[in-house]
Chains A and B, each alone.
Chain A
Amino acid sequence: MSKHRLLVLGSALLVALGLVSYAAAGSKSAATRAAASGSITIALGGEPTTLDPLLKEDGNSDWVTNSIFDTLLARSTDGKKLFPKLAASMPKLINKTTWQVKLRSGIKFSDGEPMNADAVVFSINRIINPKYNSEQVEFVGTIKKAVKVNDSTVNILTKGPDPVLPSRLYWVRIVAPQATAKSDSASHPVGTGPYLFKEWARGDHITITANPNYWGSPKPSIQTITYKFVPEEGAQLAGLISGQYDLITSLLPDEVKRAPKAVITAGNEHPMLIPNAKPGSGITSDARVRQALNYAIDKNALASKLYDGYAVPDAGQTLSPSWFGYNPKVKAYPYNPAKAKALLKAAHATGKSITIATESGRWLNDKILVESVAQYWRAVGLKVTVNVEAFNTWLNQLFDSKHRPQVIFVSTDNPIYDADRTLSTYYESSGGGASNSDAQMKKWIDQARTETNVSKRLGLYHKAVAKANKQAYLVWLLNLKNVWGMSKQLQWQPRQDGFMYDNTMKLSG
């Protein structure tokens, strides 16, 4: 045997020995870990910016604070129904601009402060305080102020009639006034929720523990929950497979099979394209062209090929079925390339050029989704250019309604399950992301915003949605599902809005 071979063989042997001993040590530690009951680790895509639940628009913060704080109203898992939580009953409209909320009595914050009208008034007036500059203001911007009536009754005054107010109360977390006044309240949250804050090791983890005195139900079943911050999807999956994590928040559709367990729910995310429908914006100002753009795309193929089936075609309205305002009579444009070609021909648009602007990476598969759409449009006889812009450039284009690209990609969701924000932004001509000049549409949406009669309001949205669909003001693509990766031991039914209430989690065995 030559020296060469000896060297290679020797080093290979060494490496192998090392690996075997490591593997043995590894499987042992995994086994002891699984046996320890009563604690789980959840991998978040990033570190929460703050644990002040009223300040930031940050999903990672919400995932932690939703288990520490309670809201006045709660929502069913599928999002369809609101019911009282800290409130004793559903809020009542006592005059056009005043909602009255009765509170449950006897509930205390974890520092002993009573959860009463003072706390609720404090929380609501805090989130709307202009100086506080909350990023969540869009969810509560209609509220003028909250006023205490007596210890268990609060009046919420709105700037105009606000039919969406109950949905807004599902958003506002109630904080403890005295604890919040302390300087470290953003890193030491005090709530009434099922879990108590334990520690925040910056950059590494946050730990919460079960609140033994939790007033509500279900009572927390897992004693200790640790949140780790893991931005990279591959690292999240690797940690889930190796048993470091019990729940990961970013599981890619094509990796679902590799996860020990995956749970899928309906979702609120709607990727779509906004064609410029304003007069003088080229071929997209013609409704027939916009309809053709919709007919040309095979939404079912996109859902199955790009999202491995974890998406459904958007029902031609940017609204999920569980949101207020969803119109069940409006359907997605069927895939019909022949009709698309005919419409383009009738509009003298065949062979014309069209440009799509998009960003890349903010949403799952966004760039490849837009490129697939471009391919469908080419197939029906258009010349399509895709401009992939830097995120900030794309943002500027999206918000610049005067110089917006001919077609721009965006994805939208709606955590308060009400059509108002979605339609005001993307349907109403004055909205930040709308590209039409439909005065009637604007009137309906404006009316609906302050219409307190539920069925009248629903009727207005149904009309708006139906007209927008017929006029093809948008090119609707998909409604994505939520995909969660879990360890075998964790039992949990995720929610459509992606909120995480840790007291609904259990360990098996």
Chain B
Amino acid sequence: MGRFALRRIVYGIVVMFLVTVVVFVTTRLIGDPSKTLLPLTATSAERAHFKHVLGLDRPLPVQFFHYLAGVVHLDFGNSLLQSRPALGIVLERLPNTFELVGFGLALAVLLAIPLGVLAALKPGSLLDKFTVVISLSGLSVAQVWLGLLLILVFAAELKVLPSAGIGGFSHLILPGVTFGLPALGRLVMLTRSTMIDELNAQYVQTARAKGMPEWRVVGLHALRNASIPILTLAGWELIRALAGFSVVVETVFAWPGVGYLAFQSIQQSDVILLQAIVTVMGFLIIAINVILDVLFKGLDRRVQLA
């Protein structure tokens, strides 16, 4: 177990370095900050000076070396947009993204498992059909549209929930639901199909034949075996959210998280800030992967390091 974890961590560090290289190269491709940040009517001399002071006119390898040396000391440089340390800005926003993603995913998981299990107990029943319809709509709906619809209904018409921004639980509800619904749909569908498979397995029939109470059969035996794919998907949902899928929801609801920050920095070619965002997120995703892998190993000793 210890060796398994160690190998996962070393693997994670290698991936992290590769991420740093890719991030540096791609952020240099998104645009020229002197063109996006200065007014269109600025002269070419003014643009050249602007880039020079920021060191963006140096050869790429030189810039990369400086960047890498900085990253090792946790110095990602100053955001071009805000002229203050980029890492500080990302860390300032990170809790907000965690709050949104955490709430949305918790909502999805806590609803999806009971719904999926109940649906799987009686496939084809009214409850099953209802669950499937809700899930399919949840995972098919475009988040932008859903978000705006919820704003229109609950903020503009009913005036019961705030339309945007952060502050208190009421602000969390609409973005959380918008974020959680597609994940809920996917999780319900997976829980349902996995549970149907498990409940038809021979060990379940054996358990029932032995006279084990149904709640133990379902809750302990079948659900435990179904939990690996469900946990994998939940982990994937979390990674997906951190990898940028929270951008849409955060932008629609003006939720001051990392996704919205990334959106702004791409728009404005703030390459320094974007670099910091992607590196920090890359680090988090790798860390989550390592933790999940180790967790799976705990759930099922047969899991091998790929």
Contact = CB atoms under 8 A, between A and B. Distances in A.
A457 interface: no
A203 B36 contact: no
Contacts of A27: 159
B167 interface: yes
B151 A23 contact: no
Interface in B97-150: 126, 148
B32 A392 contact: yes
Contacts of B166: 203-204
A56 to B, nearest CB: 8
A396 interface: yes
Interface stretch (A47-55, A92-100, A143-151): A47-55
B202 interface: no
B83 interface: yes
A108 B260 CA distance: 39
A254 interface: no
Nearest to A187: B84
Interface string B248-285: 00011110110010001001010000000000000000
A229 B44 contact: no
Interface residues of B, number: 51
A395 B39 contact: no
B200 interface: no
Interface string B53-78: 11000000000000000000000000
Interface stretch (A72-80, A133-141, A324-332, A489-497): A133-141
Contact of B164 (A52, A130, A228, A412): A228
Interface residues of A, number: 61
A434 B171 CA distance: 48
Determine which residue in A19, A49, A186, A421 has the highest number of CB atoms from chain B within 10 A of its CB, and name it. Answer: A49
B48 to A, nearest CB: 12
A425 B148 contact: no
A392 to B, nearest CB: 4
Given A202-B92, A432-B44, A238 B163 contact: yes
A232 B126 contact: no
B210 to A, nearest CB: 33
A114 to B, nearest CB: 27
Interface of B: 30-32, 35-44, 46, 49-50, 53-54, 81-84, 92-93, 96, 126, 148, 151-152, 154-156, 158-160, 162-167, 251-254, 256-257, 260, 264, 267, 269
9 contacts: A56-B81, A135-B38, A138-B38, A232-B164, A238-B163, A392-B32, A395-B36, A399-B35, A433-B41
Given A7-B126, A56-B37, A131-B53, 20 more contacts: A22-B158, A30-B159, A55-B83, A203-B92, A203-B256, A203-B257, A204-B256, A228-B165, A230-B164, A230-B165, A234-B151, A235-B151, A238-B152, A392-B36, A395-B31, A395-B32, A395-B35, A412-B40, A412-B41, A425-B41
8 shortest interchain CB distances as A-B pairs = A203-B256, A392-B31, A238-B156, A26-B159, A22-B160, A133-B53, A26-B160, A425-B41
Interface of A: 3-4, 7, 19, 22-23, 25-27, 29-30, 46-47, 49-50, 52, 55-57, 130-131, 133, 135, 137-138, 141, 186, 202-205, 228-232, 234-239, 241-244, 391-392, 395-396, 398-399, 410, 412, 414, 421-422, 424-425, 432-433
